A and B are shown apart, each in its own frame.
Chain A
Amino acid sequence: MTRAGASDDLLRALAPQVLAALLRRYGASQFDLCEDAVQEALLAAHEQWPGRGHPDDPAAWLITTARRRLIDRIRSEKRRRDREATQASLAHPLEQHAAGAIDDSVQLLRLCCHPALSPPAQVALTLRAVGGLTTAQIAHAYLLPEATVAQRITRAKARIREAGAAFPAPTDAEDRITPVLTVLYLMFNEGHTATAGPAVHDVELSGEAIRLARMVCADLPGHGEASGLLALMLLTDARRPARTTGHGALIPLDEQDRSLWNRATIHEGVAILERTLPGRHPSPYLLQASIAALHDEASSTAETDWPQILILYKLLEQETGNPVVTLNRAVAESMVHGPAAGLAIVDGLFDRGLPADPHRVLAVRAHLLEQIGEREAAVDAYRSASRATASLPERDYLLARARKLTAG
């Protein structure tokens, strides 16, 4: 079931507040029932508001409706002894708007990113409980059957209950935000690259990740990595209009029409960096955002500040030790010191054993071989890379590069 129209945005913005109000009252041990009740209230609002108009206080209406549904549910589940105590507390009125809307959402994010859950479960639960998306919408975004997603959400909620999670979570350290940022990053990337399937990006998921990252930043304005992640998302998303052809084929960065890049989004991302970077340790998301900003501010590949990008990738490599970063450093190295220098780094990666996603390494290797003029080796590498990728647009792009070399 889909919700559309102006009330959709309002309902989705209110969803986490309503859930937070129920959780504060009944505890995270009732997370599954509370979340179901909120979904039912959202559905009721969707059905009733268009005909009757919005209530004066939409949040209060939703909380009251959700609470009634919750009471119905708990009464029909009398067999569960651990819920009898909750039933006794139902008679008391509910405190409303005890915390701010943003604080509610971030607290909920923390709960949904509970370490007892696997990352895919964290993402699915976040999209539903914090993002206010229906199970059908989430299933559609991930090209999965609705029943599969519904089962994941049910299981995730049960896990949170079993883990004895508290709401709000104890505010011991701000590093509890790290798994939240990871989940938002996964959500954004899934929307941006769509690892499988025909479309290169899915507006819904990356847009949702940006919306949630904005909330986290509003709640934690001084948090370097939260700001860095939001800036990275904005500076990457700004290139979306130039990233594919009308038919969904991939266009590499150096061939993109940069006049299509979204200037307002780039300005916003750069402004976040300018506010956040001074005097701060260059942490991974801030470094990646800084690299994205250097690309976004250049008028062409040739005009790009590659020496600066190379320095940033070296710092990022020291911070993370991630072979994907090493691969990106190889590209920067080739732009500064020539393709042979880049190729040496790529071959070094092969010597250390193939990384988890060999198609990227093979694709970069193919590009560098092409630049050096090793035409046959480049064709082989493009074809190997095309066989290794699970993305159709990527496969088509790599095969087209190979065809271009064999034709010329």
Chain B
Amino acid sequence: MLLFEISRFIRKSKIRIVIVVLLLLLASVFSKKNVYELLRVSNLLPDNAVLSVPDFLIGILNSTQFVMYFIFPVLFSILIADIITADFNEGLINFILPRLKNRFQYIITKCTMVFLMSILFTCFVVFITALLVAVSFNMPFNHNKYHYIFLITAKSGGSMFITYMSMVTTFIIGLTFIGLITLVVSFYTRSAGVAIGVIIILSFIHNAFYVVSSDLIIWLPFSQYIVGLHNHFAPYGIPVRYFTMHFSNIYLFVGIALMIVLLILKIRKVDINNVESKG
């Protein structure tokens, strides 16, 4: 069924994918200035220092407020919010389910789609938009690195490659979790629009907690996929002792499992009907 889902998604969402990529491109352009400013106000950039590609890439994946709390979750939810509800609204569910062994297979395929989309989205962010912006603005690939993640990783004797891989992996898993939250809300409310709305509200809640510097932010979902926000990178990260990558990994995996369970509970017995019917 995965092949059917992938081909159908690409066919159906071509325009949406293009719009999301364009918005990501804009976000990358915005992030260039944002990352620079963030390092400058943190007194990490000497005068007239040039931002390098590694700094920029690391910076994007750790641009907490606007990019990681708002742009990425919202764009990702727009991309995948209707992958279940569209089947119901378009009536295709009547053709899909009788071709499957069980309903669990349907939900697992949708979850796999979310995971694949999060990988695709990460590729868009890291390899297409960010690198395109970096090349367009003539950023040097090999240059002094100023981002605090480089500094702290070097100071603690850690490998930058492993840190970077961990950042990308956490980003993918975090996006998967955000995508599954979107799916759960859209499936339970039978509305992709409501699901995107919930993600936007969640983004505002994250930003509000961030602005007032509340430690409670460590319990919010979008904080888990920002590696630079963790205690290991304090004082630039949140100085709460147990807010480690280990904490976030457990949070994300438990969250993902919970979302899958919620989806299965819903699909297991629901009367498949059009979008207005009650399950």
Question: Do chains A and B stick together as partners?
Answer: no
